[in-house]
Amino acid sequence: MISEIRKEIISNIEKEIIISQLSKNKREDGRGLFDFRDINIIPSPVEKAEGSAFVSLGKTKVLVGVKVSPASPFPDTPNEGIFVVNTEFSPVASPLFELGPPSEYAIEVARVVDRIIRSSEMIKLDELAIIPGELVWMINIDVYALDDNGNLIDASLIGALAALYVGYLPRVEIIDEEKKKIQIVKEEKYPIPLRDMPVSFTFAKIGDILLLDPTRIEENIMDARLTLAINNKGEICSVQKGEGGGFKLEDILLAKDIALKKANDIRKIINDQLVKKPRGEEAWNEIRGLAHGSNKES
């Protein structure tokens, strides 16, 4: 197997302090155990992408771009569109990331995000056929981590949701159906057909303590990780357990209750920002602005 270093070495004394503080419900950034960090979404900064979003979850930052292109459908789903989630965790985001093919961790995150979008049926794939059986839209969702300060899974999902939400499909003129000849009219844009917005909640288990939305330092000392995704009907639509340690049954039930309770609030925070925030060139003012404001909170 590929061995990779995912965690920084942390001194026992630091670890003990963090754990003893956690047992008093105190976290390094002052949050409660089950508080999410601030979510800041900047929609559509990248004009060259059909959809894009810059997301910061506390100090964790990702940039997600959506590119659409006509492609041949899979033989078993000839009338359905295709989407692919890909993560690029380059060394820009962390000294632990390396150049080269995606790490096991990056692939895991991409597959979890893919699965959440797939099981929630967020994208109406059946509305993505161009010439049924012959040509369909392929949606590439590329997640670029820019700054890893913990919980890239939830940040990546929020980025993917946001980029899809503000994304568009260009109008297509079918010139010759037989020969699969089409013309793309970029100027005419239609929203990507979506029906649902899933949200995810990643928990960490450190000793006996369960907490939500771990920071980088908490990830470094966590024993196990659990991600639960909730669709807008209030159903659980994906689960992923990660890392070497385990969870007790009551941890999982508690995590489920918290995720269900918080799902609507998080969805509202995401929705509000997608509707209200400035887009395009103006979005970069905010991205740049994060530069000097980024030290103030976690």
19: left (phi over 0), alpha (psi -120 to 50) or beta: alpha
Q: Could you tell me which residues are beta bridge partners of residue 41? A: 55
Q: Does 2 bind other proteins (CB under 8 A)?
A: no
Structure tokens at 203: 């928990």
Q: Does 67 bind other proteins (CB under 8 A)?
A: yes
Q: Contact with other proteins (CB under 8 A): which of 90, 119, 232, 271?
A: 90
Q: CA–CA separation, 37 vs 4, rounded Å? A: 28
Q: Does 83 bind other proteins (CB under 8 A)?
A: no
Residue 129: in which H helix or E strand, if any? strand 129-131
Q: Does 168 bind other proteins (CB under 8 A)?
A: no
Kindly state the smallest distance separating residue 66's Cβ from other proteins, in Å: 7
φ, ψ of residue 73 to 5 degrees: the values are: -75, 165
Q: 3-state SS of the chain: helix, strand, coil percent to 5? A: 30, 30, 35
Q: CA–CA separation, 224 vs 222, rounded Å? A: 6
Q: CA–CA separation, 205 vs 243, rounded Å? A: 10
Q: Which three-class secondary structure state does DSSP give residue 153?
A: helix
Q: Contact with other proteins (CB under 8 A): which of 27, 31, 59, 205?
A: 59
Per CB under 8 A, contacts with other proteins among 259-288 are: 281, 284, 287-288
Per CB under 8 A, contacts with other proteins among 183-222 are: 216
Q: How many residues does the chain have?
A: 298
Q: Does 91 bind other proteins (CB under 8 A)?
A: yes
- Cβ atoms 81, 137 nearer than 8 A: yes
For other proteins, give the closer residue by CB, 224 or 290.
290
Q: Contact with other proteins (CB under 8 A): which of 148, 213, 218, 219?
A: 148
User: Total binding residues for other proteins by CB under 8 A?
Assistant: 41
Which range binds other proteins by CB under 8 A, 72-80, 121-129, 254-262, 289-297?
289-297
Kindly state the smallest distance separating residue 102's Cβ from other proteins, in Å: 8
The 4-43 site mask, x for binding other proteins (CB under 8 A), equals ----------------------------------------
Q: CA–CA separation, 279 vs 66, rounded Å? A: 15
Kindly state the smallest distance separating residue 149's Cβ from other proteins, in Å: 6
- Cβ atoms 250, 258 nearer than 8 A: no
Point out which residues bind other proteins (CB under 8 A): 45-49, 52, 59, 61, 63, 65-67, 69, 86, 88, 90-95, 99, 101, 140, 142, 144, 146-149, 216, 281, 284, 287-288, 290-292, 294-296
